[in-house]
Amino acid sequence: MLGMTTRRTQVGIVGAGPSGLLLSHLLARQGIDSIVVENRGRDYVEERVRAGVLEQGTIDTLAEAGLGERMMAEGLFHDGIEIRFDGQAHRIDFPSLTGGKRIMVYGQNEVVKDLIDARLEAGGAIVFDVDDTAIEGIDGESPTIRYGKDGAEHAIACDYIAGCDGFHGICRPSISEAALTGYDRVYPFAWLGVLADSRPPSREVAYCHSERGFALLSLRSPTVSRLYIQVAPDEDIANWPDQRFWDELQRRTAVEGAAPIETGPILHKGITPMRSFVAEPMRNGRLFLAGDAAHIVPPTGAKGMNLAVADIRFLTEALAAFYRTGDTAGLDGYSARALRRVWKAQRFSWWMTTMLHLSPDDSPFDRRRQRAELDYVTGSEAAMRTIAENYVGLPFETGLTP
Protein backbone atom coordinates (compact mmCIF):
# COMPACT_ATOMS: atom_id res chain seq x y z
CA MET A 1 0.00 0.00 0.00
CA LEU A 2 1.29 3.46 -0.93
CA GLY A 3 1.35 6.42 1.47
CA MET A 4 -1.61 8.32 2.87
CA THR A 5 -3.07 11.31 0.99
CA THR A 6 -5.24 13.74 2.97
CA ARG A 7 -7.66 16.30 1.54
CA ARG A 8 -9.90 18.86 3.21
CA THR A 9 -13.46 19.80 2.34
CA GLN A 10 -16.49 21.25 4.04
CA VAL A 11 -18.91 18.36 3.39
CA GLY A 12 -17.78 14.82 2.63
CA ILE A 13 -20.40 12.75 0.80
CA VAL A 14 -20.45 8.95 0.74
CA GLY A 15 -22.37 7.63 -2.27
CA ALA A 16 -22.77 8.88 -5.85
CA GLY A 17 -26.44 8.06 -6.27
CA PRO A 18 -29.11 10.72 -6.79
CA SER A 19 -29.01 11.97 -3.19
CA GLY A 20 -25.23 12.30 -2.91
CA LEU A 21 -24.80 13.89 -6.32
CA LEU A 22 -27.71 16.29 -5.87
CA LEU A 23 -26.37 17.36 -2.48
CA SER A 24 -22.95 18.08 -3.99
CA HIS A 25 -24.56 20.05 -6.82
CA LEU A 26 -26.84 22.13 -4.59
CA LEU A 27 -24.05 22.83 -2.11
CA ALA A 28 -21.81 24.06 -4.93
CA ARG A 29 -24.53 26.52 -5.93
CA GLN A 30 -24.33 27.85 -2.37
CA GLY A 31 -20.55 28.16 -2.53
CA ILE A 32 -19.96 25.14 -0.26
CA ASP A 33 -17.20 22.64 -1.13
CA SER A 34 -17.80 18.90 -1.14
CA ILE A 35 -16.16 15.66 -2.26
CA VAL A 36 -18.19 12.58 -3.26
CA VAL A 37 -16.76 9.06 -2.90
CA GLU A 38 -18.36 6.01 -4.53
CA ASN A 39 -17.33 2.37 -4.39
CA ARG A 40 -18.70 1.59 -7.86
CA GLY A 41 -17.49 2.72 -11.26
CA ARG A 42 -19.10 5.54 -13.19
CA ASP A 43 -20.57 3.22 -15.83
CA TYR A 44 -22.23 1.05 -13.19
CA VAL A 45 -23.69 4.04 -11.37
CA GLU A 46 -25.08 5.53 -14.58
CA GLU A 47 -26.68 2.32 -15.82
CA ARG A 48 -28.39 1.03 -12.66
CA VAL A 49 -32.05 0.43 -13.52
CA ARG A 50 -34.18 2.08 -10.85
CA ALA A 51 -37.52 3.83 -10.46
CA GLY A 52 -38.38 6.64 -12.81
CA VAL A 53 -41.44 8.53 -11.53
CA LEU A 54 -40.70 12.12 -10.50
CA GLU A 55 -43.08 14.13 -8.32
CA GLN A 56 -43.89 17.70 -9.24
CA GLY A 57 -41.62 18.95 -6.44
CA THR A 58 -38.72 16.82 -7.70
CA ILE A 59 -39.19 18.13 -11.24
CA ASP A 60 -39.20 21.68 -9.93
CA THR A 61 -36.13 21.10 -7.74
CA LEU A 62 -34.06 19.70 -10.60
CA ALA A 63 -35.18 22.41 -13.01
CA GLU A 64 -34.45 25.22 -10.52
CA ALA A 65 -30.99 23.72 -9.98
CA GLY A 66 -30.15 24.00 -13.68
CA LEU A 67 -30.62 20.28 -14.32
CA GLY A 68 -33.80 20.38 -16.34
CA GLU A 69 -32.76 20.77 -19.98
CA ARG A 70 -32.57 17.11 -20.98
CA MET A 71 -35.23 16.09 -18.45
CA MET A 72 -37.76 18.50 -19.92
CA ALA A 73 -36.89 17.46 -23.46
CA GLU A 74 -36.97 13.69 -22.93
CA GLY A 75 -39.11 13.12 -19.84
CA LEU A 76 -42.74 12.12 -20.27
CA PHE A 77 -45.32 14.11 -18.33
CA HIS A 78 -48.27 12.11 -17.03
CA ASP A 79 -51.53 13.66 -15.89
CA GLY A 80 -52.80 10.65 -13.96
CA ILE A 81 -52.76 6.94 -13.23
CA GLU A 82 -55.11 4.05 -13.83
CA ILE A 83 -56.36 1.57 -11.27
CA ARG A 84 -57.61 -1.65 -12.85
CA PHE A 85 -59.71 -4.36 -11.21
CA ASP A 86 -62.60 -6.62 -12.16
CA GLY A 87 -61.88 -6.07 -15.85
CA GLN A 88 -62.41 -2.29 -15.64
CA ALA A 89 -59.99 0.64 -15.78
CA HIS A 90 -60.52 3.69 -13.55
CA ARG A 91 -58.49 6.84 -14.19
CA ILE A 92 -57.44 9.37 -11.56
CA ASP A 93 -56.76 12.78 -13.10
CA PHE A 94 -54.02 14.62 -11.22
CA PRO A 95 -54.21 18.22 -12.50
CA SER A 96 -57.94 18.55 -11.85
CA LEU A 97 -57.51 17.26 -8.29
CA THR A 98 -54.26 19.00 -7.31
CA GLY A 99 -54.39 22.45 -8.87
CA GLY A 100 -52.47 21.46 -12.00
CA LYS A 101 -49.69 19.26 -10.61
CA ARG A 102 -48.36 16.33 -12.63
CA ILE A 103 -45.70 13.64 -12.53
CA MET A 104 -42.95 12.78 -15.00
CA VAL A 105 -41.46 9.49 -16.13
CA TYR A 106 -37.69 10.02 -16.36
CA GLY A 107 -35.38 7.20 -15.29
CA GLN A 108 -33.32 7.54 -12.13
CA ASN A 109 -30.23 6.58 -14.12
CA GLU A 110 -30.92 9.53 -16.42
CA VAL A 111 -31.07 11.86 -13.42
CA VAL A 112 -27.74 10.43 -12.27
CA LYS A 113 -26.18 11.00 -15.69
CA ASP A 114 -27.33 14.61 -15.68
CA LEU A 115 -25.93 15.15 -12.19
CA ILE A 116 -22.57 13.57 -12.95
CA ASP A 117 -22.22 15.62 -16.13
CA ALA A 118 -23.11 18.81 -14.26
CA ARG A 119 -20.72 18.15 -11.38
CA LEU A 120 -17.76 17.22 -13.57
CA GLU A 121 -18.38 20.13 -15.94
CA ALA A 122 -18.26 22.47 -12.94
CA GLY A 123 -15.05 20.89 -11.66
CA GLY A 124 -16.76 19.00 -8.85
CA ALA A 125 -14.90 16.18 -7.10
CA ILE A 126 -16.35 12.67 -7.55
CA VAL A 127 -14.07 9.74 -6.76
CA PHE A 128 -15.33 6.46 -8.25
CA ASP A 129 -14.11 2.89 -7.69
CA VAL A 130 -12.97 3.34 -4.10
CA ASP A 131 -12.63 0.49 -1.61
CA ASP A 132 -12.45 -0.08 2.14
CA THR A 133 -14.46 3.06 2.82
CA ALA A 134 -14.87 3.98 6.48
CA ILE A 135 -15.94 7.02 8.45
CA GLU A 136 -14.65 8.07 11.85
CA GLY A 137 -14.77 10.94 14.28
CA ILE A 138 -18.43 11.82 13.71
CA ASP A 139 -18.71 12.89 17.35
CA GLY A 140 -15.78 15.30 17.04
CA GLU A 141 -15.27 18.58 15.23
CA SER A 142 -13.56 17.16 12.14
CA PRO A 143 -14.96 13.79 11.00
CA THR A 144 -13.00 11.87 8.38
CA ILE A 145 -13.78 9.64 5.41
CA ARG A 146 -11.08 7.06 4.70
CA TYR A 147 -10.87 4.93 1.57
CA GLY A 148 -8.51 3.08 -0.73
CA LYS A 149 -7.93 3.93 -4.37
CA ASP A 150 -5.34 2.56 -6.83
CA GLY A 151 -3.27 0.98 -4.09
CA ALA A 152 -3.08 4.12 -1.95
CA GLU A 153 -4.83 5.20 1.24
CA HIS A 154 -6.80 8.44 1.24
CA ALA A 155 -8.46 10.54 3.90
CA ILE A 156 -10.92 13.42 3.61
CA ALA A 157 -11.18 15.69 6.63
CA CYS A 158 -14.62 17.35 6.75
CA ASP A 159 -16.84 19.63 8.76
CA TYR A 160 -19.76 17.27 8.17
CA ILE A 161 -20.39 13.91 6.47
CA ALA A 162 -23.51 13.07 4.46
CA GLY A 163 -24.31 9.36 4.32
CA CYS A 164 -25.95 8.92 0.91
CA ASP A 165 -24.68 5.38 0.33
CA GLY A 166 -27.94 3.44 0.27
CA PHE A 167 -29.53 0.82 2.48
CA HIS A 168 -26.51 -1.50 2.40
CA GLY A 169 -23.87 1.23 2.77
CA ILE A 170 -21.38 1.79 5.56
CA CYS A 171 -22.72 5.03 7.04
CA ARG A 172 -25.82 3.92 8.92
CA PRO A 173 -24.07 0.87 10.49
CA SER A 174 -21.37 3.24 11.78
CA ILE A 175 -23.92 4.64 14.23
CA SER A 176 -24.16 2.72 17.50
CA GLU A 177 -27.33 0.71 18.05
CA ALA A 178 -28.01 2.70 21.20
CA ALA A 179 -28.14 5.94 19.18
CA LEU A 180 -30.44 4.76 16.38
CA THR A 181 -33.81 3.02 16.16
CA GLY A 182 -34.74 1.10 13.03
CA TYR A 183 -38.42 0.59 12.18
CA ASP A 184 -38.78 -2.30 9.75
CA ARG A 185 -41.54 -4.10 7.87
CA VAL A 186 -40.96 -6.86 5.32
CA TYR A 187 -43.90 -7.66 3.04
CA PRO A 188 -44.79 -11.26 2.13
CA PHE A 189 -44.38 -10.67 -1.61
CA ALA A 190 -41.95 -9.20 -4.15
CA TRP A 191 -42.02 -7.69 -7.65
CA LEU A 192 -40.67 -9.45 -10.70
CA GLY A 193 -39.81 -6.57 -13.01
CA VAL A 194 -38.69 -6.40 -16.62
CA LEU A 195 -37.45 -3.69 -18.93
CA ALA A 196 -38.68 -4.56 -22.40
CA ASP A 197 -38.06 -3.24 -25.89
CA SER A 198 -41.77 -3.04 -26.64
CA ARG A 199 -44.44 -0.40 -27.00
CA PRO A 200 -45.90 0.43 -23.55
CA PRO A 201 -49.33 -1.16 -23.07
CA SER A 202 -50.68 1.90 -21.23
CA ARG A 203 -50.09 5.61 -21.88
CA GLU A 204 -49.99 6.20 -18.10
CA VAL A 205 -48.94 4.11 -15.14
CA ALA A 206 -51.56 1.42 -14.50
CA TYR A 207 -51.96 -0.38 -11.15
CA CYS A 208 -53.70 -3.71 -11.61
CA HIS A 209 -55.38 -5.78 -8.89
CA SER A 210 -56.47 -9.30 -9.79
CA GLU A 211 -57.19 -12.62 -8.15
CA ARG A 212 -53.88 -13.83 -9.60
CA GLY A 213 -51.91 -11.06 -7.88
CA PHE A 214 -50.83 -7.49 -8.51
CA ALA A 215 -49.30 -6.15 -11.74
CA LEU A 216 -48.00 -2.75 -12.84
CA LEU A 217 -47.75 -1.27 -16.31
CA SER A 218 -45.33 1.62 -16.75
CA LEU A 219 -42.79 2.88 -19.27
CA ARG A 220 -39.40 4.45 -19.74
CA SER A 221 -40.01 5.89 -23.21
CA PRO A 222 -42.58 5.63 -26.00
CA THR A 223 -40.85 2.42 -27.13
CA VAL A 224 -39.54 0.89 -23.87
CA SER A 225 -41.82 -0.66 -21.22
CA ARG A 226 -41.21 -1.16 -17.49
CA LEU A 227 -43.50 -3.95 -16.26
CA TYR A 228 -43.99 -5.80 -12.97
CA ILE A 229 -45.92 -8.70 -11.49
CA GLN A 230 -46.28 -9.78 -7.88
CA VAL A 231 -44.39 -12.97 -6.94
CA ALA A 232 -43.35 -14.74 -3.76
CA PRO A 233 -40.39 -13.11 -1.94
CA ASP A 234 -38.28 -16.25 -2.38
CA GLU A 235 -39.20 -16.74 -6.06
CA ASP A 236 -36.48 -18.08 -8.33
CA ILE A 237 -36.18 -15.88 -11.40
CA ALA A 238 -35.23 -18.96 -13.41
CA ASN A 239 -38.86 -20.06 -13.07
CA TRP A 240 -39.93 -17.12 -15.23
CA PRO A 241 -38.89 -17.52 -18.86
CA ASP A 242 -39.95 -14.61 -21.01
CA GLN A 243 -43.09 -16.15 -22.43
CA ARG A 244 -44.42 -17.14 -19.03
CA PHE A 245 -43.96 -13.55 -17.85
CA TRP A 246 -45.82 -12.09 -20.84
CA ASP A 247 -48.69 -14.58 -20.46
CA GLU A 248 -49.11 -13.86 -16.76
CA LEU A 249 -48.90 -10.11 -17.26
CA GLN A 250 -51.67 -10.28 -19.85
CA ARG A 251 -53.93 -12.25 -17.51
CA ARG A 252 -53.49 -9.83 -14.61
CA THR A 253 -53.92 -6.60 -16.54
CA ALA A 254 -56.71 -7.37 -19.03
CA VAL A 255 -59.60 -4.89 -19.11
CA GLU A 256 -62.55 -4.48 -21.43
CA GLY A 257 -61.65 -2.87 -24.74
CA ALA A 258 -57.86 -3.06 -24.26
CA ALA A 259 -55.69 -4.53 -27.01
CA PRO A 260 -53.40 -7.45 -26.11
CA ILE A 261 -50.05 -6.42 -24.67
CA GLU A 262 -47.35 -6.05 -27.30
CA THR A 263 -44.38 -8.26 -26.43
CA GLY A 264 -40.74 -7.67 -27.30
CA PRO A 265 -37.17 -8.51 -26.29
CA ILE A 266 -36.65 -8.32 -22.53
CA LEU A 267 -33.60 -6.15 -21.81
CA HIS A 268 -33.44 -6.63 -18.05
CA LYS A 269 -35.19 -8.87 -15.52
CA GLY A 270 -34.97 -8.83 -11.72
CA ILE A 271 -36.82 -9.44 -8.47
CA THR A 272 -37.33 -6.58 -6.00
CA PRO A 273 -38.25 -7.42 -2.39
CA MET A 274 -40.91 -5.25 -0.78
CA ARG A 275 -39.82 -3.54 2.40
CA SER A 276 -40.45 -0.51 4.58
CA PHE A 277 -37.66 0.81 6.80
CA VAL A 278 -37.03 4.03 8.70
CA ALA A 279 -33.97 4.95 10.77
CA GLU A 280 -34.50 7.47 13.56
CA PRO A 281 -32.88 9.90 14.00
CA MET A 282 -31.35 10.72 10.62
CA ARG A 283 -28.41 12.43 12.31
CA ASN A 284 -25.70 11.31 14.70
CA GLY A 285 -23.07 13.86 15.64
CA ARG A 286 -21.69 15.31 12.41
CA LEU A 287 -23.09 12.50 10.24
CA PHE A 288 -26.37 13.07 8.39
CA LEU A 289 -28.23 10.23 6.66
CA ALA A 290 -30.23 10.86 3.49
CA GLY A 291 -32.14 8.80 0.94
CA ASP A 292 -32.03 5.01 1.11
CA ALA A 293 -29.38 5.14 3.83
CA ALA A 294 -32.13 6.40 6.11
CA HIS A 295 -35.34 4.90 4.75
CA ILE A 296 -36.78 2.40 2.28
CA VAL A 297 -40.33 2.41 0.91
CA PRO A 298 -42.09 -0.23 -1.18
CA PRO A 299 -42.14 1.00 -4.79
CA THR A 300 -45.94 1.00 -5.03
CA GLY A 301 -46.20 4.67 -4.12
CA ALA A 302 -43.27 5.83 -6.33
CA LYS A 303 -41.66 7.64 -3.41
CA GLY A 304 -38.06 6.35 -3.17
CA MET A 305 -36.04 8.87 -5.17
CA ASN A 306 -38.53 11.63 -4.43
CA LEU A 307 -37.97 11.23 -0.69
CA ALA A 308 -34.22 11.37 -1.29
CA VAL A 309 -34.63 14.68 -3.14
CA ALA A 310 -36.69 16.07 -0.27
CA ASP A 311 -34.01 15.01 2.25
CA ILE A 312 -31.38 16.79 0.18
CA ARG A 313 -33.43 19.97 -0.09
CA PHE A 314 -33.75 20.08 3.70
CA LEU A 315 -30.09 19.23 4.32
CA THR A 316 -28.85 21.78 1.79
CA GLU A 317 -30.96 24.53 3.37
CA ALA A 318 -29.61 23.63 6.82
CA LEU A 319 -25.97 23.53 5.73
CA ALA A 320 -26.30 26.75 3.74
CA ALA A 321 -27.78 28.53 6.76
CA PHE A 322 -24.94 27.27 8.96
CA TYR A 323 -22.17 28.35 6.60
CA ARG A 324 -23.85 31.68 5.98
CA THR A 325 -24.63 32.66 9.59
CA GLY A 326 -23.19 30.00 11.91
CA ASP A 327 -26.72 29.12 13.06
CA THR A 328 -27.11 25.37 13.73
CA ALA A 329 -30.91 25.40 14.16
CA GLY A 330 -31.47 23.92 10.70
CA LEU A 331 -28.91 21.18 11.25
CA ASP A 332 -30.40 20.40 14.66
CA GLY A 333 -33.88 20.21 13.14
CA TYR A 334 -32.98 18.30 9.97
CA SER A 335 -33.92 14.85 11.22
CA ALA A 336 -37.32 15.80 12.63
CA ARG A 337 -38.16 17.83 9.54
CA ALA A 338 -37.22 15.07 7.12
CA LEU A 339 -38.90 12.34 9.13
CA ARG A 340 -42.27 14.08 9.07
CA ARG A 341 -42.27 13.75 5.30
CA VAL A 342 -40.77 10.24 5.39
CA TRP A 343 -43.53 8.87 7.60
CA LYS A 344 -46.26 10.42 5.48
CA ALA A 345 -44.72 8.75 2.42
CA GLN A 346 -44.45 5.47 4.34
CA ARG A 347 -48.13 5.64 5.20
CA PHE A 348 -49.12 6.27 1.58
CA SER A 349 -46.82 3.55 0.23
CA TRP A 350 -48.07 1.03 2.79
CA TRP A 351 -51.69 1.89 1.99
CA MET A 352 -51.26 1.55 -1.77
CA THR A 353 -49.35 -1.69 -1.29
CA THR A 354 -51.88 -3.38 0.97
CA MET A 355 -54.83 -2.18 -1.11
CA LEU A 356 -53.51 -3.62 -4.37
CA HIS A 357 -51.57 -6.80 -3.49
CA LEU A 358 -52.70 -10.22 -2.42
CA SER A 359 -51.20 -11.43 0.84
CA PRO A 360 -50.93 -15.10 1.83
CA ASP A 361 -52.22 -14.04 5.26
CA ASP A 362 -55.44 -12.52 3.89
CA SER A 363 -58.73 -13.96 5.14
CA PRO A 364 -61.94 -13.94 3.09
CA PHE A 365 -62.90 -10.86 5.11
CA ASP A 366 -59.67 -9.12 4.08
CA ARG A 367 -60.33 -9.85 0.40
CA ARG A 368 -63.87 -8.46 0.58
CA ARG A 369 -62.66 -5.38 2.45
CA GLN A 370 -59.93 -4.85 -0.14
CA ARG A 371 -62.48 -5.03 -2.94
CA ALA A 372 -64.70 -2.50 -1.17
CA GLU A 373 -61.74 -0.16 -0.74
CA LEU A 374 -60.96 -0.29 -4.45
CA ASP A 375 -64.60 0.51 -5.18
CA TYR A 376 -64.46 3.47 -2.81
CA VAL A 377 -61.19 5.04 -3.98
CA THR A 378 -62.24 4.89 -7.64
CA GLY A 379 -65.75 6.21 -6.98
CA SER A 380 -65.15 9.03 -4.51
CA GLU A 381 -63.67 12.37 -5.55
CA ALA A 382 -62.36 12.89 -2.03
CA ALA A 383 -60.57 9.53 -2.08
CA MET A 384 -59.16 10.17 -5.55
CA ARG A 385 -57.91 13.57 -4.39
CA THR A 386 -56.09 11.85 -1.51
CA ILE A 387 -54.31 9.56 -3.95
CA ALA A 388 -53.57 12.39 -6.36
CA GLU A 389 -52.10 14.83 -3.83
CA ASN A 390 -49.89 12.14 -2.31
CA TYR A 391 -48.78 10.79 -5.67
CA VAL A 392 -47.76 14.15 -7.15
CA GLY A 393 -45.99 14.97 -3.87
CA LEU A 394 -46.98 16.82 -0.73
CA PRO A 395 -45.79 20.45 -0.42
CA PHE A 396 -42.33 20.98 1.03
CA GLU A 397 -42.22 22.34 4.54
CA THR A 398 -40.83 25.84 4.94
CA GLY A 399 -38.60 26.93 7.79
CA LEU A 400 -35.54 25.19 9.20
CA THR A 401 -36.53 24.49 12.78
CA PRO A 402 -38.47 21.40 13.98
Cβ proximity of 303 and 353 under 8 Å: no
pLDDT at residue 401, as a whole number: 45
* Three-state SS sequence of the chain: CCCEEEEECCEEEECCCHHHHHHHHHHHHCCCCEEEECCCCHHHHHHCCCCCEECHHHHHHHHHCCCCHHHHHHCEEECEEEEEECCEEEEEEHHHHHCCCCEEECCHHHHHHHHHHHHHHCCCEEECCCEEEEEECCCCCCCEEEEEECCEEEEEECCEEEECCCCCCCCHHHCCHHHCEEEEEEEEEEEEEEEECCCCCCCCCEEECCCCCCEEEEEEECCEEEEEEEECCCCCHHHCCHHHHHHHHHHHHCCCCCCCCCCCCEEEEEEEEEEEEEEECCEECCEEECHHHCEECCHHHCCHHHHHHHHHHHHHHHHHHHHHHCCCHHHHHHHHHHHHHHHHHHHHHHHHHHHHCCCCCCCHHHHHHHHHHHHHHCCCHHHHHHHHHHHHCCCCCCCCCC
pLDDT at residue 220, as a whole number: 87
Query: Which of 147, 303, 334, 357 is the catalytic position?
Result: 303
Q: Which residues in the chain are classed under CATH 3.50.50.60?
A: 4-52+107-180+281-359
CATH number listed for the domain at residues 4-52+107-180+281-359: 3.50.50.60
Q: Which residues in the chain are classed under CATH 3.30.9.10?
A: 184-274
pLDDT at residue 48, as a whole number: 80
| pLDDT < 70 stretches in the chain | 1-3, 51, 398-402
Query: Which of 207, 295, 334, 357 is the catalytic position?
Result: 207
Catalytic status, residue 207: yes
Catalytic status, residue 44: no
Catalytic status, residue 303: yes
pLDDT at residue 387, as a whole number: 97
pLDDT at residue 40, as a whole number: 95
Please state the pTM of the whole predicted model: 0.94
Catalytic status, residue 78: yes
Query: Which of 143, 200, 298, 299 is the catalytic position?
Result: 299
The fold for domain 184-274 equals D-Amino Acid Oxidase; Chain A, domain 2 (3.30.9)
Q: Tens digit of pLDDT for each residue in 255-295? A: 988 889 999 999 999 999 999 999 999 999 999 999 999 99
